[in-house]
Amino acid sequence: MQRNLALFDLDHTLLPLDSDQAWAHYLVRLGVVDGARHADKIDRYYRAYAAGELDMDAYLDATLAPLASHPRAQLEQWHAQFMRDVIVPAIRPEARALIARHRDAGDLCCIVTATNEFVTAPIASALGVEHLLAIRLGTHDGTAGGEYTGKSVGIPSFREGKIARAHAWLASLGRSFEDFGQSWFYSDSINDVPLLEHVTHPVATNPDARLAELAAVRNWPVLQLFGEAGVAAG
C-alpha cells in the first residue's frame, strides 16, 4: 500500500497550456461553435479564473454547452484529433519525469483539475496517471457512456471543492489524508491555495504572480517545470 500521496493540477502545471481553453479554440477551428464570439467568451472566463474571480456556474454553462449539441461519438472523434494536434505535442518530458519520479517511488498519484472529465480523461491517460478528479458530467441516461446533458454533476473540483473531492476519492479507496506520511500538491494557480494548504508538501509549479508572491511569504518551493512561461492555447 502506498505510503505517500502525489496530487497534480493539470492546466499550466503538467501542461504548458489550459486544456479547456485550447479545446474551445479547437472547436472554433473546426467550425463547430460560433467562431470568434465563443473563443472570446472562453478567454474572458479564463482571465477571470487567473484573477481568482471566476463564476464557476456561468463558466460551466458556457464550456459544457457544446457537449450537449453533438453526438458523443462525434465529440470523441473531434477529441482524438485534438489530442493528436494540440495536447500530445504539448506534453513535455519535464512533466513526464515529475510524474515518473512519484510513480517510481510508489506514491499514489492523481490529477485534480477544474476542467471537465471529457476533456481531461484522455490527457490523464496520455500522461500515465491512473486517477483523475475532474468536473463530472451529466448524461441523459445516467451512464458514463451516455449522451451529455451539458450540465455538471456533484461537487466541482474547484477551490475548496478539490479538497472535498480528494477526501471522497480517498475514502472510496479506504484511505484518508492521514494515512500518508507525506503528501504533495503541484499547482500553478492562486485558486488552488486551499488544497496546497491541505498537503504536507505544497509546490507552486509555474506559479501565477499571486501564487508566486504567496509562495515566497510561505517559503513554499517553486518549480518552473517549463521555464518562465508556458505556451498560449491556440
CA distances from 89 to 43, 86, 127, 135 (A): 22, 6, 12, 24
Q: How far apart are the first and last CA of the chain?
A: 41
11 is an active site residue = yes
Question: What is the β-pairing status of strands 131-139 and 108-116?
Answer: parallel
Joined grid coordinates for residue 82: 485534438
In 3D space, the residue among 112, 87, 162 whose CA is nearest the CA of residue 9 turns out to be 112
Question: Which SS3 state, helix, strand or coil, does residue 67 take?
Answer: helix
- How crowded is residue 76: how many other Cβ atoms within 10 Å of its Cβ? 13
Distance of CA 135 to the CA centre of its chain: 9
CA distances from 200 to 172, 192, 217 (A): 21, 15, 17
Residues noted as catalytic? 9, 11
